[in-house]
Amino acid sequence: MREQYIEKYDGSDRIKTSPCLFLKDLKCSVYESRPADCKSYPHLHKKDITSRLLGVIDNYSECPIVFNVYEELKTEYNFK
């Protein structure tokens, strides 16, 4: 069953669908069993982070973690 939802990508497991079908009420419903790719998101430790920043921004509408971080930054820096 795992193969139905998870694929190998760049050496680690990730969810095949976007938006993630395991998001329920903007929370991960499989948090304790989430793939390694989800655990390390937003992958700041990986090479070439600056070339992937637009991809992170693209996830704003799909990923609650990205959404919450951006909203917190907006508050912290008084963005209007």
pTM > 0.75: no
**Which pLDDT score is estimated for 33?**
85
pLDDT interval class at 1 (50, 70, 90): low
The pLDDT tens digits of the residues spanning 15-72 come to 788 778 888 887 889 889 888 778 877 666 667 766 667 777 777 777 777 788 888 8
- The pLDDT value recorded for residue 52 is 66
Instruction: Give me the residue spans of the domains in the chain.
Output: 2-76
Tell me the H-state helices in 7-63: 36-39, 53-58
pLDDT, tens digit, 9 for 90 and up, residues 9-18 = 777 777 788 7
CB 13 within 8 Å of CB 6: yes
